[in-house]
């Protein structure tokens, strides 16, 4: 035992007292720290610092008017510290003639002190008092705290509408305080004051199911409704990561594409010019000489160049493996039309057609060609070129598109989320701060605006 002072008069105990209003038993859970305690039976607001529990106020409410979701006296851990729920209040604001209410819970630990939980429509925040002052910007649109910028979301006059349990300050039903919220999801910094004195607090969004788990509450946490002011976007934190990752993949893809252009032999294996006499009639089918496709299984590119001029030629091709007889059948049309009309000159089609046959194994191949055209056309010349192992730019384009798709989708969903968030603010829409998100946001708004205008 210490030699410097008298022994304290025993360990502080949870006090059981009787309400001077109705005689019901009152439990004071925060030892000498409670300033106000509210009788659950008769709703007398009592001075907890007065040994006689002077009645400060009585308010009318049915006992079960607003049962706390976390019953007073239940305990749970928040960031590794055990707390007991000791107080509960409902606060109400008026926006355009409509009342909105949220709930606040007072949590207590005998050495760590007080902490708060707030709940609105299934959205929860873990709130503690700030020990340092945030740095408010000149216009009050933003503030800075620990190097992070918070943006003003809304300012409301909140009235205390219902109270239960204990509070470490003097609380009254009907009391109004001006509350301003500044957000940087998942955090919110709030100022609160009823006079000159302003208290700053910081809240962090917390999932209802985590509260249900730690306080061992019955049933399931009510599902949150809508988007809350500091609710972290399920996307936004990932959007940057996904874009970064997409960037890495695109660079890798580009490297592969460049490598492919280097590696692919792009070798011409066959070239021949043919003439087709359209008037000859009968079976026009013939086969070419055999040519060799070397290397690994790869693509084959066949180009048809025909001397068509305001007419057409259709070629039925078959690329046939001499050894196995396996055939790749395909047809190509080459048509070219042009002329003048009231709008000036016009043209359609062209004299060249290219087709790619993917994944052709190596071997000895020949082509069977069957041309068709207008029987009155006469002689049509056409050249057939076959190239082996041609790099396919379109493949890389498709791959790039496939890579961009998830990032684009996430960005869109994230913008949508921010739109819903800021729709609830004093401003009705997201602020423009030059960031990527707000830039895209304002672009989409412009589009919407022009649609509305039409």
Partner 1 sequence: MTQPTANCPNCGAKVVFRWSGSVQTVCEFCKSILIRTDLNLEKVGKVADLPPSSSPVQLGAEGIFRKRSFVVMGRIIYEYDQGNWNEWHFVTNDGASGWLSDAQLNYAVTFAAQGQTLPRECKIGQQYTWNGQAYVVSTITKAHYCGVEGELPFQYWDKSDVVFVDLMSQSEKFATIDYSEDPPLLFLGESVEFEDLKLKNLRSFEGWS
For the bound state, the minimum distance from the C-beta of residue 131 to partner 1, rounded and expressed in Å, comes to 4
Q: Which of 68, 76, 134, 185 binds partner 1 (CB under 8 A)?
A: 134
- Please name the helix (run of DSSP H) or strand (run of DSSP E) that holds residue 241, with its range, or none: helix 236-263
Show the DSSP H helices in 129-222 as ranges. 208-214
Among 4, 62, 376, 394, binds partner 1 (CB under 8 A): 4
CB of 75 to partner 1, least distance (A): 9
Q: Which stretch binds partner 1 (CB under 8 A): 3-11, 343-351, 385-393, 422-430?
A: 3-11
Residues 363 and 293 sit within 8 Å (Cβ to Cβ):
yes
Residue with token string 């907890």: 48
The residue with tokens 């007889």 is: 325
Q: Which residues, 86 to 125, sit near partner 1 by CB under 8 A?
A: 109-114
Cβ atoms < 10 Å from Cβ of 434: 7
Smallest distance, partner 1 to C-beta of residue 128, A: 10
DSSP summary character for residue 31: G
Nearer to partner 1, 197 or 343 (CB): 197
Among 24, 95, 129, 355, binds partner 1 (CB under 8 A): 129
Which helix (H) or strand (E) segment is 442 a member of? helix 436-453
Site string for partner 1, 218-257 (x = CB under 8 A): ----------------------------------------
Per this entry, what is the length of the chain? 454
**Could you give the CA distance from residue 18 to residue 31 in angstroms, rounded to a whole number?**
15
Among 8-16, 207-215, 309-317, 420-428, which window interacts with partner 1 (CB under 8 A)?
8-16
Is residue 180 a contact residue for partner 1 (CB under 8 A)? no
Contact status: 71 vs partner 1 (CB under 8 A): no
413, 423, 419, 410: which is closest to 441 by C-alpha?
A: 419
For partner 1, the binding residue among 17, 35, 56, 93 (CB under 8 A) is 35
Q: How far is CA 206 from CA 78, 163, 372, in A?
A: 10, 23, 72
Chain contacts with partner 1 (rule: CB under 8 A): 1-6, 8-9, 11-14, 30-33, 35, 49, 82, 109-114, 129, 131-135, 168-170, 196-198
């Amino acid at each position: 035992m210490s030699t410097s002072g008298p022994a304290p008069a025993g360990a502080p105990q949870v006090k059981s007292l009787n309400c001077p209003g109705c005689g019901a038993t009152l439990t004071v859970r925060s030892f000498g720290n409670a300033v106000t305690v509210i009788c659950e039976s008769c709703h007398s607001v009592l001075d907890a610092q007065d040994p006689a529990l002077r009645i400060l106020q009585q308010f009318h409410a049915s006992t079960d008017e607003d049962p706390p979701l976390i019953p007073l006296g239940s305990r749970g851990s928040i960031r590794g510290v055990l707390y007991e729920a000791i107080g509960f209040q409902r606060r109400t604001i008026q926006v355009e003639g409509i009342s909105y209410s949220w709930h606040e819970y007072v949590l207590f630990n005998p050495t760590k002190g007080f902490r708060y939980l707030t709940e609105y429509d299934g959205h929860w925040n873990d709130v503690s008092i700030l020990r340092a002052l945030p740095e408010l910007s000149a216009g009050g649109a933003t503030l800075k705290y620990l190097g992070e910028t918070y943006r003003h979301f809304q300012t409301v006059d909140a009235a205390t509408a219902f109270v239960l349990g204990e509070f470490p300050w003097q609380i009254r039903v009907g009391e109004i305080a001006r509350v301003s919220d500044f957000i940087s999801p998942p955090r919110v910094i709030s100022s609160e004051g009823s006079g000159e004195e302003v208290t700053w607090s910081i809240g962090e969004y917390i999932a209802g199911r985590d509260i249900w788990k730690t306080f061992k509450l019955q049933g399931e946490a009510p599902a949150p409704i809508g988007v809350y002011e500091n609710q972290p976007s399920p996307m936004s934190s990932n959007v940057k990561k996904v874009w970064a990752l997409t960037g890495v993949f695109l660079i890798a893809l580009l490297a592969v594409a460049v490598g492919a252009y280097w590696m692919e032999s792009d070798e011409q294996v066959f070239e021949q010019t043919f003439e087709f006499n359209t008037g000859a009639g009968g079976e026009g089918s013939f086969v070419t000489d055999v040519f060799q496709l070397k290397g690994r299984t790869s693509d084959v590119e066949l180009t048809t160049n025909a001397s068509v001029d305001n007419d057409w030629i259709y070629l039925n091709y078959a690329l046939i493996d001499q050894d196995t007889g396996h055939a790749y059948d395909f047809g190509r049309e080459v048509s070219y039309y042009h002329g003048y009309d009231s709008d000036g000159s016009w043209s359609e089609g062209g004299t060249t057609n290219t087709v790619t046959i993917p994944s052709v194994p190596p071997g000895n191949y020949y082509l069977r060609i069957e041309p068709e055209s207008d029987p009155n056309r006469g002689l049509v010349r056409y050249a057939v070129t076959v190239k082996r192992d041609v790099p396919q730019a379109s493949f890389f384009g498709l791959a790039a598109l496939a890579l961009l798709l998830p990032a684009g989708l996430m960005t869109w969903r994230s913008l949508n989320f921010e739109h819903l968030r800021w729709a609830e603010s004093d401003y009705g829409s997201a602020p423009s701060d030059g960031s990527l998100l707000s830039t895209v946001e304002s672009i989409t708004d412009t589009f919407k605006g022009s649609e509305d205008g039409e």
